[in-house]
Amino acid sequence: MRAAIHTLLTELHFTGMSLTLDSILDAAEHNGDAPAAVLLQLLREESRYRQERSLAYRLQQARLPWDWSLDTFPFDRQKSANASHIRALAGLEFIDRAQNLVLIGPPGTGKTGLAIGLLRQALVNGYRGRFYNAQDLIDELYASLADHSTTRLIKRLAAYDVLAVDELGYMNLKPEHANALFQLLEQRYARKTTLITTNLDFDQWYALFRNKPLVDALLDRLQHHCIVLRLAGPSLRAPAPPPEPSTER
């Protein structure tokens, strides 16, 4: 009978139930568990398995460059990152409200770490997201112009609950690049959350894009529903300072 059940579970793609069937039935026979209790336990195992597989898929699709989380962020070294504020953002209400998040600061101040941590938190909680280096995103959008797949690509990117664009500022931009990026952000405006890290304050974007009307329109949409975090201080990539010598005797 167990072999027949295993066969049916495999045909139905109930992998979580199949993996735990024997141990659950052995325990049920030993403890005299009711059939309903056995069924409930099997269904819970299937649900747990599917949630784990779904999370693994979301993490794979997001292409996070490092396995960082907010728990690993050195708040003690980056005083300009308000830990309470970041943990409030980790509640992810800003994603439900389709608010954007822009982290501005010099290199090494933790912008990317916070972006990855918040995106990972969103993935763990069931949201779909994607992480891009800004130049890679621009290159992908530009390449799509050659085979006329830009509309399809923008539609796919616009569907992510969270799109993280890292290091906006270190880019070689042409007018068509800027136009493609604007189209993407236009599609996401007031619908989905875009998370941007940059070393440039907003007034410096004009020199980057070299198109004042486009930057005006882009910033108008980006900042309309937006949280801005400004980071400062020494680079976190520098060695941590040694602890101060104890004054106790």
First to last CA, the chain: 75
The rounded percent of the chain whose pLDDT value lies above 90 is: 54
pLDDT tens readout for residues 15-55: 988 888 888 888 888 888 888 788 888 888 888 888 888 88
The overall average pLDDT reported for the chain is 89
List of residues 6+ apart from 161 with CB closer than 8 A: 95, 122, 127, 128, 129, 192, 193
User: Residue range 129-158: average pLDDT?
Assistant: 92
One DSSP character per residue, 74-108 reads -TTT-TTS-HHHHHHHTT-HHHHTT-EEEEE-STT
pLDDT band at 233 (very low <50, low <70, confident <90, very high): confident
Residues whose CB is less than 8 angstroms from the CB of residue 86 and which lie 6 or more positions away in sequence, other chains included: 70, 73, 75, 114, 117, 118
Tell me the per-residue pLDDT of 181-225, one tens digit each, with 9 for 90 and over: 889 999 999 999 999 999 999 999 998 888 899 999 999 988 888
* Residue 142 pLDDT class (50, 70, 90 cuts): confident
Q: Which of 9-18, 134-143, 196-205 has the lowest mean pLDDT?
A: 9-18
pLDDT at 243: 56
Residue 13's pLDDT is 85
Residue 241 has pLDDT above 70, yes or no: no
